Chain A
Amino acid sequence: MIDHILTLLIAIPLLGAAAVAVWPAKRPESFRIIALVALALEFLLAAFLYFSFDNGNPGHQLSEVTDWITLPIGALGVVSIDYALAVDGISFPLVLLAVVVLFVGVISSWNIVQKSRAYFALYLLLTGSVIGCFLAQDFFLFYLFFEFMLLPMYFLIGLWGGPRREYAALKFFIYTFFGSLLILIVMIALYLSVIDPLETAKAVGILGIDDPIHPDLISQIQQWLIDGKIAPEQLVHTFRFAYLADPNNYIPGSLLSIASEYSIGSIPLRLLAFWFLFVGFAVKLPVVPVHTWLPDAHVEAPTPISVVLAGILLKIGGYGFIRIVDGFFPVEAQHSAVPLAILGMISIVYGGFNALGQSDLKKMIAYSSVSHMGFVLLGVAAFTAEGINGAIYQMVSHGVLSAMLFILTGVVYDRTHDRRIDHYRGLIAVMPQYTIITGIAFFASLGLPGFSGFVGELFTLMGAFQSEALPVWIPALSTLGIVLAAAYFLWTYQRMFFGAFWYKNGSLHVLSDLTRREKGMLIPLVILTILLGLLPGILFDMTGPTVEAWLGGLE
């Protein structure tokens, strides 16, 4: 079991989804229990992983590699797709976050009775694909999971959402599908340019089946490629992240080889591929100006789906930036640091101003997500240890905080079906516990020291200041984001919670304080944000060595 723990992590929710789909009982309660059991198992596995994860090891851990598809296709060589899973310091925190957020999401879905069989089946499908995304070490596999997320997400918004759910779902789908199309194009180009040196060596006969791998092998292969000694049929093409990230595995003269002379117009092909990938993941993060699907999707999505969307799905964008965009195109990324950082800065400030202008609570929080994810882009663009570590930290922190914020929004929405900020006043009188937890979530999100939000912002900004490539004014202007965050959170807090109690559409009986289930979701998240805020080492010790090795490898 221990050998295949990562497979298990993907398989459990998928099996759960199958179980929900075929379960004979019609009672809606049974479906949510299956989902809960599946996520509880995930949680236990993740907890086990947490204790067995070796923080000091910068490489892959718990690797599982199996040849999946090996297909000789004539002049295009051999397609080799591996079922490769592993965790390292970059993906592991996000896997943990995914399990926590998805677990909370199930509890938050507890009251969904309408078409609950389909709901929980789709939810578990989503769970499996999200976790698969973070575990995959093969681009093809990653892309499979990445695409697989869209479908359940589309239905979860489109069938269980609010009044304009169909519009929102379609918008979400079109945006992300457009993004994945760009990724796909680059994926194919990468495939044509990269070989698996070991398999190729075996195919050519430089390396016997049982021979030990000798250090000059790769350079030898490269020399053979330059000399044209290897026939195209013998090349074994691969999608493995590890090979794609290593310039020595690119075929000289291929589309995306390091010294590629291909260009479209005056733009070198590698740079173009970099921007394609960037935009593909920027839609997910989201980066201004490809962010407009997010507020709509959030407003229409049911509470648990908002939680999952903001808590985890957006992080795949940030993860893609680090692992794929920067990982495969480090030189281009460093050259483009300034435009990337400016986009991050714009997201931070633009998202903040828009959040300030919203009157719908959920939309305000959605825009605050745009602003907070801008810090991730800023950190990634900085390309320094502080920046990348800070970006990962910010993703985890925002995952926890946005989950809290959307659950809190769901609390009033469940009671009144009304999310207008100006329809409430003085909620503290009837919902004191709700007021306190919202206060904590708001202050944590606006970056108060002691909570996780502060650390994420501090280190992404610090990374951006440290970066040699970035001028000082970019991070300096980005600090406007923390001013705006204080303004929109506190203004909302004041309008909804303080003063004399008043609710536009009814009496105060509707507004009861938090239930035990709601507290059960919120309090662990509060503890988590405080824990991460006081002891950021929990995460930084995990990510630090890997990021350092990763940055060192890209030099």
Chain B
Amino acid sequence: MPDSAYFLPAYLLLGLPFLGFLLLWSAGKGFNKPAGWAGALITASGLVISLLYADIHALHIINFHWLSIGQTPIDLSFRFDVLTCIMLAIVHFVALLVQLYSISYLHGDKNLHRYFAFIQLFLFSMIGIVLSGSLLVMYIFWELVGLSSYLLIGFWYLKPRAVWAAQKAFVLNRIGDAAFLTGILMLFYYIGSTDFEVIASNLDTINPGILTAIGFCLFGGCMGKSAQFPLSGWLPDAMEGPTPVSALIHAATMVAAGIFLLARISFLLTFEARLVIAIIGTITMLIGAVKAMQVWDIKRVLAYSTMSQLGLMVVAVGFGSWQTAMFHLATHAFFKAGLFLSAGSVIHAVSPANADLNFDPQDMRTMGGLRKALPVTFSCFTICAASLAGLPFFSGFLSKDAIITEGFLWAGELGALFYVFPILVIFSAGLTAYYMTRQLWLVFFGENRFSISQIHPHESPALMWLPMAFLAALSLFFWFSWNPFDAAGWFLAFIGQEAEAHLAWVPVIASAVTFVSISLAFRQTKTENPFKVVASKPVDNLVIETRKFAWLRDYSNTDYFIIPFAFITKYLKIFEKRFIDSIIDRIAKMSVVLGHLIGWFDRFFVDGGVNLIVYSIRSGGQAVRNLQNGKIQSYYIVTVMGLFLLILWLVIL
């Protein structure tokens, strides 16, 4: 198909969700019931359109003229290629399932129409990122994704913590975006365009040092959106939003945007930039995995796990293999969305009928033994967890395997020191298996530990478990590769990964580590106090922090941004008051003193002199004195007259 044929899908893919947003939002509360179905319909048609126009053999670019500054035109370009195809399919598919799930999950919420409107706005922005043909376009939609994430996390605006989490997400993202914007503007300066094609063809005109700096800056955007250290603090807090939102944007799509960005720009990343990316990714991966082993909130475990997995994808880009990163992004999108939806189903099941402020339905310490009451949820959760843990025959095994292989190949070329990266990846895979086993056991096995009596766990309705089941089914290996032990299936071939040397021992080692961790976790369940579940008391997390800047502070202890911010603000304010303003004040006071002196001089010498000489001019002196009556008008007149005199003086001279 010619490029011009792609205007239509671009209009439809972007226009439909945006119209959906406007319509659903303005439709009002009366539209609450059909809103979800309308949203799902729009997304379903988007899915159909994106599949119809999937043309993996060619690149299609369309351009819109936006504005010209002088002679420089600034265009907005959109592109369709393999990467677009994959992302469009993933985004639409997960969004469709999540919306269907939400219809049932949020049933009865009085602002439901707004919820689905915001989901459509999110899709509009996310699809914009996916279609963008230049970094400028991507930045525009990037920010809009930030907005829709803000609106969705803060959807329950009466909950102070939800609103806090929303703005924290936005502000931390903004820090990354500032760097992203800097990178974009540097590209504008050095190349004159941010169009991916133009950059690719002009890459050799840039000094490698500057290219590295640009790479760092652009990676800043990824650090924000994909929750990389040190901008990761918002992701766990974002769990305050509705659970389906977490599944959609904080597991499958929005947080994947950072990885997508890296995949798009991977051609311009220099070795140094890649190395830093790999280091940051590794740190994030380990922090996420360790934190996930410690927290008790069912969703936060998944959030930290997401952070860890995103770190893994970033490491893959650092290894120079964006293809495996995308592969893991795809498999992760399905199994993590499945995990979140299952977690939502659990929360749904254990929420007491009348909200009890002292009971937190997301605390795993008050769960346990739910596998009998929730058989479907249990099986979906287990399948997705197995995939996340990287057990053979599941999709996660394939993609993780592919990244580890890439890591060893990469390190093999560079030297012994670099083996630390793939080894850490294997280590973190072990941690992953451990914390997933822990979560599975805490939620579904053992005895139930409900702290209050009115909980009657029940299986969720079909509208909820069907999407879960779909996602669980997609976590099996055969969707991505026919050979359960070889990642090099159709998917990697599809996104253009060359068939490389296959390291046969990698799957063996990786599985061995996984099984060891699982058995360690299993042994823990046999102890007297498994995972210290009894000893640790539920913290009262409903206490609202009222300290200044508490909103940016994590409920965990990632304070590092706040301290300097609060410090600078405090002292600048004092500086402003004590220094700048007081200088002006002093000058003002000194002028008043001077004015009095002159006035005194005026009265005693000038006036007195005048009095002495000519008595009759006294009235004139009086008039002069009257001018100093503290009224601004007279000062003004004096000044204007002075000016005139000055000019006159100049003129006569």
Q: Which residues of A contact B (CB under 8 A)?
A: 71, 73-76, 79, 151, 154, 158, 169-171, 173-174, 177, 184, 188, 289, 292, 350, 353-354, 356-357, 385-386, 389, 426, 428, 443, 447-450, 454, 458-459, 461-462, 465-466, 472, 475-476, 479-480, 482-483, 486-487, 490-491, 493-494, 497-500, 535-537, 540-541, 544-545, 547-548
Contacts and interface: CB of A to CB of B under 8 A. Distances in A.
Contacts of B188: 462, 465-466
23 contacts: A71-B651, A74-B651, A154-B632, A173-B632, A292-B581, A357-B570, A449-B143, A465-B189, A479-B178, A479-B182, A480-B178, A482-B178, A483-B171, A483-B174, A491-B551, A494-B167, A499-B159, A536-B66, A540-B68, A544-B69, A545-B70, A547-B70, A548-B70
B69 A540 contact: yes
A76 B69 contact: no
Given A386-B72, A491-B167, A356 B580 contact: no
A459 B552 CA distance: 29
A465 B186 contact: yes
Interface in B179-218: 179, 181-182, 185-186, 188-189
Interface of B: 66-72, 139-141, 143-144, 147, 150, 154, 157-160, 163-164, 166-167, 170-171, 174-175, 177-179, 181-182, 185-186, 188-189, 551-552, 565, 568-570, 572-573, 576, 580-581, 584, 588, 632, 636, 639, 643, 646-647, 650-653
B178 A483 contact: yes
Contacts, number: 145
B474 to A, nearest CB: 33
A537 B65 CA distance: 10
Contacts of A154: 632
Given A76-B653, A541-B68, A490 B178 contact: no
Contacts of A389: 69-70
Question: A-side binding surface: helix, strand, loop or mixed?
Answer: helix
B66 to A, nearest CB: 7
Nearest to B186: A465
Contact of B185 (A151, A462, A486, A494): A462
Given A499-B158, A547-B70, 13 more contacts: A71-B651, A76-B650, A188-B650, A354-B573, A443-B147, A462-B188, A465-B189, A482-B181, A483-B178, A499-B163, A537-B66, A537-B67, A544-B68
A466 B190 CA distance: 9
A459 B188 CA distance: 11
Contact of B163 (A449, A454, A498): A498
B147 A184 contact: no
Contacts of A465: 185-186, 188-189
Most buried by B among A76, A491, A493: A491
Contacts of B588: 174
B160 A448 contact: no
A376 B179 CA distance: 21
Nearest to A436: B25
A159 to B, nearest CB: 11
Nearest to A292: B581
A500 B185 contact: no
A74 B572 CA distance: 55
Given A289-B580, A466-B188, A482-B177, A350 B160 contact: no
Contact of B158 (A74, A426, A535): A426
- 10 nearest interchain CB pairs? A479-B178, A449-B140, A490-B167, A385-B70, A73-B651, A486-B174, A498-B163, A465-B185, A357-B569, A357-B573
B537 to A, nearest CB: 27
A480 B564 CA distance: 13
Given A350-B572, A353-B568, A357-B572, A448 B72 contact: no
Contacts of A353: 568-569, 572-573
B376 to A, nearest CB: 36
A540 B71 CA distance: 11
A45 B75 CA distance: 34
A448 B143 contact: yes
Contacts of B164: 494
Contacts of B584: 171, 292
Contacts of A480: 178
A350 B653 CA distance: 47
A454 B143 contact: yes
A299 B188 CA distance: 40
B580 A170 contact: no
Nearest to A473: B182
B552 A487 contact: yes
B650 to A, nearest CB: 7
B107 to A, nearest CB: 23
A461 B136 CA distance: 13
A75 B485 CA distance: 99
A369 to B, nearest CB: 15
Contacts of B158: 426, 498-500
Nearest to B146: A448
Nearest to B577: A292
A63 B368 CA distance: 83
Contacts of A483: 171, 174-175, 177-178
Nearest to A150: B636
A57 B150 CA distance: 44
Nearest to B633: A151
A292 B576 contact: yes
A151 B640 CA distance: 12
B632 A475 contact: no
Given A448-B144, A487-B171, A475 B185 contact: yes
Contact of B72 (A188, A385, A491): A385
Nearest to A289: B580
Contact of A75 (B178, B636, B653): B653
Contacts of A386: 69, 72
Contacts of B650: 76, 188
Contacts of B565: 356, 487
A354 B154 contact: no
A426 B185 CA distance: 39
Contacts of B186: 465, 472
B68 A548 contact: no
Contacts of B139: 449
A476 B70 contact: no
Contacts of B167: 490-491, 493-494
Contact of B160 (A354, A454, A499): A499
Contacts of A79: 651
Contact of A461 (B175, B181, B569, B580): B181
Contacts of A536: 66-67
B68 A537 contact: yes
Contacts of B189: 465-466
A485 B312 CA distance: 32
Most buried by B among A71, A79, A490, A494: A490
A536 B76 CA distance: 13
A73 B652 contact: yes
A351 B185 CA distance: 23
Contacts of A498: 154, 157-158, 160, 163
A231 to B, nearest CB: 16
Nearest to A184: B643
Contacts of A356: 565, 569
A50 B247 CA distance: 50
Contacts of B147: 443, 448
Contacts of A482: 174, 177-178, 181
